[in-house]
Chain A
């Protein structure tokens, strides 16, 4: 039997970051069920500059496909909101290389990383003893003082510890995406998002350029729609002469937990981070930045716990997250519910009264001036009052 201080399940952005910070004061094992870390990718691969800064990640050419200078959001009636910066505000990365880089960084800090290792929680008389892994057909028991569940949207580790992580289907975005090449992109320095109840009910279609003629073209729709995500994406592509002749380099299928963060992030000696803890922005459904922020907080807390041999310290992760980011995600979730109720005409109206700054602030949970600009639309204000 192997013994570690901390075992992290899942080597996505949340797990690799948690492992790296935990390793400052603990012996850490990081396992992932896939044979290759980072693959298959389930992502549009957009990441803001802030994420690199917050986590001290280099702007390494090996995982940066394209600099992005802003975004254009299209309403169904032809209205649009554009926000453009002079400097790159974000990047379309290559997740397969990025995720592997984060895992390699963790290993440089002393973490032992193991791919092709499917984990289940190991409990004895209700006590979490560590995990069991199946590595290349062989079962092994791993003893650990702390277990970190970073096992993504499909998380089973937290459930095995008794935390209820089941999502209401309306709090999940069902996604389908193609990486397409040989397409025409109007402005490949920008990301493009298309809204509309017929185009992508409860979500949006995105074009995230990886090159001047190559992009992730995907859709997220609210779980529970009549048609599938694939249906909406294929229909959109067919309707667009700039896309429909393109080649398909990759097919990505995924679901995003957009119901705001779990409240219970720590139980006994188990911590939950990233998509497993539903720590995604409920409006734009980006989750990589938050996953790494949560990973850092959880990893640091785990290191302190091991260092002081006081399990009580683990709860600091939950308290810290819930009182800051967690609260913000709750606010954003209410905005998601508000947006879900908008008609196509309302979306066009908002593109007329809001500017790019308003849109960005709203998607971060801050109504500020955006609210004042809706003053002449009493019905929308009334609707808003129901949610915010």
Chain B
């Protein structure tokens, strides 16, 4: 499960995702089929908004 709450749309997580699993217009969205839950994106969010379980 992955939850992104109140995203600011800064794009940091998009820049580090090695699998191109995140897209962003105003806020970020995840494409479930591409995400391998490596959790890399979790570590760059300036406000810790990404939670992966």
Contact = CB atoms under 8 A, between A and B. Distances in A.
A130 B31 CA distance: 24
A21 B16 CA distance: 31
Interface string A219-230: 000011100111
A229 B46 contact: yes
B14 A156 contact: yes
A118 B43 CA distance: 27
Nearest to A229: B46
A15 interface: no
Interface in B1-49: 8-12, 14-18, 20, 23-26, 40, 43-48
Given A118-B25, A156-B24, A230 B47 contact: yes
Interface stretch (A172-180, A235-243, A290-298, A371-379): A172-180
Nearest to B41: A169
A253 B45 CA distance: 9
Contacts of B25: 33, 118
A74 B23 CA distance: 38
A165 B44 contact: no
Contacts of B26: 33
A257 B15 contact: yes
Given A154-B11, A154-B24, A253-B10, A169 B47 contact: no
A223 B16 contact: yes
Given A169-B40, A253-B10, A154 B46 contact: no
A168 interface: yes
Interface residues of A, number: 30
Contacts of B46: 174-176, 228-230, 253-255
Interface residues of B, number: 22
Contacts of B16: 166-169, 172, 223
Contacts of B9: 40
Nearest to A176: B46
A381 to B, nearest CB: 32
A159 B12 CA distance: 15
Interface string A15-40: 00000000000000000010000001
B2 to A, nearest CB: 17
Nearest to B19: A166
Contact of A174 (B12, B20, B23): B12
Contact of B44 (A40, A159, A255): A255
A153 interface: yes
Nearest to A226: B43
Contacts of A172: 12, 15-16, 44
A224 B48 CA distance: 11
Interface string A234-275: 000000000000000000011101000000000000000000
A4 B49 CA distance: 40
A184 interface: no
B44 A153 contact: no
A54 to B, nearest CB: 26
Contacts of A257: 15
A223 B48 contact: no
B12 A155 contact: no
B15 A174 contact: no
Given A169-B43, A224-B44, A230-B47, A159 B10 contact: no
Contact of B15 (A40, A166, A231): A166
A255 B10 contact: yes
A153 B12 contact: yes
A165 B20 CA distance: 10
B28 to A, nearest CB: 8
A230 B15 contact: no
A83 B18 CA distance: 40
A228 B18 contact: no
5 contacts: A154-B10, A154-B14, A224-B44, A229-B47, A255-B44
Given A153-B10, A172-B15, 15 more contacts: A154-B10, A154-B12, A154-B14, A154-B15, A165-B15, A167-B15, A167-B16, A169-B43, A169-B44, A223-B16, A228-B45, A229-B46, A254-B12, A255-B10, A255-B12
